[in-house]
Amino acid sequence: MRDEAPLKAVFFDRDGVLNIDHGYVHDIANFEWVPGAREVISELTAAGVQAIVVTNQAGVARGYYTEETMHALHQAMQDELARTGGRISAFYHCPFHRDAVVEAFRCDDHPDRKPNPGMILRGLSENGLSPEECVLVGDNDTDVEAAQRAGMPGYLFKEANLLEFLKARLGARFPKADA
């Protein structure tokens, strides 16, 4: 039974789940954590559960910012999480989009672009995980669809606090650091 498998990883969409989505967020100066996001990652880390980010990044394809800028933001996120004992195990991003102005990133239906499950499948494989051991939290139906296509549950986050949301959705399956 899927609900009985121990939780080994939570996949998170980034914008709208971990941070407030102000539109094409790429600079730490404009980055604002969703309430409960740092805390949930810290609790997962303390319990030995991986936090993995899977994020469509059309802003790269549209030429609004570079992959290097995005990686710098991800590093700043890691630095801030480290101060509270949290860590994101891996970041996966999809810079491809059908309307890309950057030719290298133009693609009608890239396998990594959610709702396709490519980033999730790569995250499972590269981190030695099975879908039964994981869940995904996203803020769009495309996130949930990608999770389902990868064989794991996907939860649609539209709440005020990410920690409270995930504890409510997972119930007894939410990991305890002393477990």
Query: What are the binding residues?
Result: 13, 15, 94, 139
Show binding-site residues for Zn(2+). Answer: 94
Catalytic residue list contains 15: yes
Task: Tell me 3's DSSP state.
Answer: G
The SS3 assignment for 137 reads strand
**For this structure, is 143 an active site residue?**
no
**Residue 137 token pair:** 């939290």
Q: Among candidates 179, 171, 153, 168, which has minimal Cα distance to 2?
A: 153
Tokens of 98: 């059908």
Cα maximum dimension of the chain:
50
- The CA distance from 8 to 119, in Å, is 17
Q: Residues 13, 21, 108, 178: which is the catalytic one?
A: 13
* Catalytic site positions: 13, 15
